[in-house]
Structure 1
Amino acid sequence: MSITYNGKSQLLAVAAIAQGGGMVFDWWDEIDESEEWQRFIFYFLSASYAFVSIVALTLEMVLLDLPGLLFFSAYTLLILFWAEIYHQARSLPVNKLRPAYYSINGLVYFAQACLWISVLLRESHLTVEISKLFVSVISFFTALGFMIYGGRLFFMLRRFPIDSRGRQKKLFEVGFVTVICCTCFLIRCIVVTLSAFDTKADLDVLDHPILNLIYYMLVEILPSALVLFILRKLPPKRVPEQYQEIR
């Protein structure tokens, strides 16, 4: 009798666990299918974007977080800023950096506009895939830009004397911002690539409010808030004569 009782207890325990797992998926599906939850999550995301933007304007920062390509332009502007510091410190020419920045951004906007027009005129699966892969590619190269110039600036600062004024603070700023930006753009690259080939992973729909909340919080809102917090004090105006060549 004891063996039978234990066997029934184990079956009941397994059934309870299975039922609990079913309840977890039930509440996920319930939220996905609820119009009230969909509205609440998207209003929450909108309010979060507004809050980060207001903080950015209050601090007079150039890293104003805006969705889409403006998000790309704001963060590539930080790459440009770091590239200018690095080139000036190494006595390298900087006169081509800003024209290159404007040219790259212009080409990106032009290409994206052409893709949007193509999708509107002929909404085929191929054009949608190409448009998403384009965003994935520019996200990858943005992450690469942070890795290159963030890494160069970080290791350049490490070569300064330990007692240099502000050395530790700048190392912290450059290191953490590089890691944060590389991570968020690489996540964007991976997720957008997956969504291009798997419609179930598409985030541009109302049916996945929880996934939208997780994705945009991790990829845009939280990274922007962290970057704004780390760079909350504007640096002094740069004077080229103050930079010395590092040998």
Structure 2
Amino acid sequence: GAVDWWKDVNDSPMWQDRIFHALAVLYGIVSVVALVQLIRIECRVPEYGWTTQKVFHFLNFIVNGVRAIVFVLRRNVQLIQPEILQHVVLDMPGLAFFTTYALLVLFWAEIYYQARAMSTDGLRPTFYWINGVVYAIQ
């Protein structure tokens, strides 16, 4: 039944490699889409510099690109010694993902505060502080 099927897949290096490569392709596609969006925005309005939207697309490009690479090289990553470096390589995309979506929350908070004519001065330092704490804990 289903349990036997899962055991076959779970014990098969061939199936695992196929799944890892399929995930790499999907993450790679998302990464390329983020890069294309970043380039389109930069070509349309280069005079604004690095806006929150551009940084968001850049971070999505990096996060998903690194995840794609990690899935392609998964077997090699599992051989990294000392093992703590293996954990760092596997955890960094997740931390960068956190930063990416914390940036999105910051963007929404800035819009909300500006719509209410409230000061946004404390938002960015809070964003940096929260990210620093999360990275330090990890």
| Alignment TM-score, normalising by the size of structure 1 | 0.35
Provide Cα deviations, 1:28-85, integer angstroms capped at 9, x if missing partner.
2111111100111011112211111111111115140623100000001010000000
Q: Which residue identity is paired with 2:6?
A: W
Whether 1:32 and 2:10 are equivalent positions in the alignment is yes
In the other structure, the counterpart of 1:75 is: 101
**Alpha-carbon distance, 1:110 to partner:** 1.6
Whether 1:50 and 2:50 are equivalent positions in the alignment is no
Q: Which residue identity is paired with 1:108?
A: V
Query: In the aligned structure 1, how far is the partner of 2:27 from the partner of 2:2?
Result: 29
Query: In the aligned structure 1, how far is the partner of 2:15 from the partner of 2:7?
Result: 11
Instruction: Report which of the two structures shows the higher radius of gyration computed on alpha carbons.
Output: 1
Query: In the aligned structure 1, how far is the partner of 2:24 from the partner of 2:132?
Result: 27
| Alignment TM-score, normalising by the size of structure 2 | 0.61
In the other structure, the counterpart of 1:97 is: 123
Q: Which residue identity is paired with 2:11?
A: E
RMSD: 1.4
Q: Which residue identity is paired with 1:109?
A: Y
**4+ aligned runs moved over 6 Å, structure 1:** none
Query: In the aligned structure 2, how far is the partner of 1:104 from the partner of 1:24?
Result: 43
Q: Which residue identity is paired with 1:76?
A: A
**Alpha-carbon distance, 1:24 to partner:** 2.5
Provide Cα deviations, 1:160-207, integer angstroms capped at 9, x if missing partner.
xxxxxxxxxxxxxxxxxxxxxxxxxxxxxxxxxxxxxxxxxxxxxxxx
Structure 2 portions without partners, runs of 5+: 39-53, 64-92
Q: Which residue identity is paired with 2:122?
A: K
Whether 1:59 and 2:85 are equivalent positions in the alignment is no
**Alpha-carbon distance, 1:25 to partner:** 2.0
Query: In the aligned structure 2, how far is the partner of 1:57 from the partner of 1:47?
Result: 15
Whether 1:41 and 2:67 are equivalent positions in the alignment is no
> What fraction of aligned residue pairs are identical, expressed as a percent?
48
Q: Which residue identity is paired with 2:36?
A: T
Provide Cα deviations, 1:64-118, integer angstroms capped at 9, x if missing partner.
0623100000001010000000000001110111111111111211221xxxxxx
Q: Which residue identity is paired with 1:82?
A: W
User: Which structure shows the bigger proportion of residues in helix conformation?
Assistant: 2
Select the structure with the greater relative contact order (CA < 8 A; seq sep ≥ 6).
1
Query: In the aligned structure 1, how far is the partner of 2:130 from the partner of 2:117?
Result: 24
Query: In the aligned structure 1, how far is the partner of 2:29 from the partner of 2:132?
Result: 28
**Alpha-carbon distance, 1:27 to partner:** 1.5
